[in-house]
Structure 1
């Protein structure tokens, strides 16, 4: 895919959704970090249901530590892998308290050192909480980037590096939200909704659906 076509795609996505953001519900960098940590192999809808009560009870690392692993489990037991996730939440909160003054660090290495936090989670936090031009590649972005030929790659790291290279600076802050939402609601896994897609004529996917 050439540069002009990519810019046309991004311009249309921006026009349709000028201020995209995550569908996870949060009111602080700490809540976002915990929500993203919980969202692995779970839907945003299921995470939001669980965190509504969790964040009301524990909106800070110290309050979360006071709940303890069992207390966290009670709030998130509807989410997959909740046992491991509850332990990671408490370990993460302990590190935030001990090493970062109870604050979420605006630093990739420090974020990736937290239990249960990988590169993708760090990218989401840096982008959404702190406004960094990072691109978190999840299954939706991986699928859309390859299917459209927008930024093809064999794995998520390859796609991330390609996106960072080909997406112009003016679009970098928002591109991962646009592509996630596009993959979640239009360019879906089994049968993409090409007929109702605003970028169908620009997309290079050959087997378009009606």
Structure 2
């Protein structure tokens, strides 16, 4: 995919969703951090269902610690790997208090030092809360990047590095959310909905499930291509 096509792709995503954001529900950096930790191998809807009552009871590191590990575990038991995640949430709350005065750090190294926080989780927090141009490559982004030809790579890190290199600077802050939402609702794993894709004509995917919709594309296309 050439630079002009990439720019057109993100121009369309921006027209479709001018202010994209995560589908995880949160009201503070801490709530988002916990939600993202819980979201590994789980759906956003499933995480939201668990965190609504949890955050209503406790939504600060100290309040979570005051609940105790058993209560945290019970609160998130509907989420996959809930026992391990409960231990991580409890431990990261303690570390936030001990090392960061109870605040979520805006630093990658500090975030990744927290229990249960890896590079992808750190990237989500840095991008969504602190508005840094990071790219949290999950299964959706990895699939979309490779399938469309936007940024091909054999590993998550290779795709991340490639995306940050090729996405036009003016679109980098929101690219993470656009690509996730596109992969979640249109460019799906088993059967992509090519007929409902606003970048269908820009995509390199050979096995398209349907013809591109000229009317849909015209609604979002710029005059560049």
Q: TM-score, normalised by structure 2?
A: 0.93
Give the unaligned 5+ runs of structure 1: none
**Is 1:188 equivalent to 2:184 in the alignment?**
no
Give the structure 2 partner of residue 28 of structure 1.
28
Please tell me the root mean square deviation across aligned C-alpha atoms, in Å: 0.4
Q: CA deviation at 1:24?
A: 0.1
Give the structure 2 partner of residue 84 of structure 1.
84
Q: CA–CA distance in 2 between the matches of 1:208 and 1:107?
A: 41
Give the structure 2 partner of residue 202 of structure 1.
202
1:144-181 deviation digits (Å, cap 9, x = unpaired): 00000100000100000000100111100000100000
Q: CA–CA distance in 1 between the matches of 2:96 and 2:104?
A: 7
What number of residue pairs does the alignment pair up? 210
Q: TM-score, normalised by structure 1?
A: 0.99
1:75-105 deviation digits (Å, cap 9, x = unpaired): 1000000000000000000000000000000
Q: CA–CA distance in 1 between the matches of 2:132 and 2:197?
A: 28
User: Hey, which bits of structure 1, 4+ residues long, moved more than 3 A?
Assistant: none
SS in 2 for 1:103: coil
User: Which structure would you say has the larger Rg?
Assistant: 2
**Is 1:38 equivalent to 2:18 in the alignment?**
no
1:105-162 deviation digits (Å, cap 9, x = unpaired): 0100000000110000000000001111111000000000000010000010000000
Q: CA deviation at 1:207?
A: 0.7
SS in 2 for 1:22: coil
Q: CA–CA distance in 1 between the matches of 2:63 and 2:196?
A: 46
Give the unaligned 5+ runs of structure 2: 211-225
Q: CA deviation at 1:196?
A: 1.1
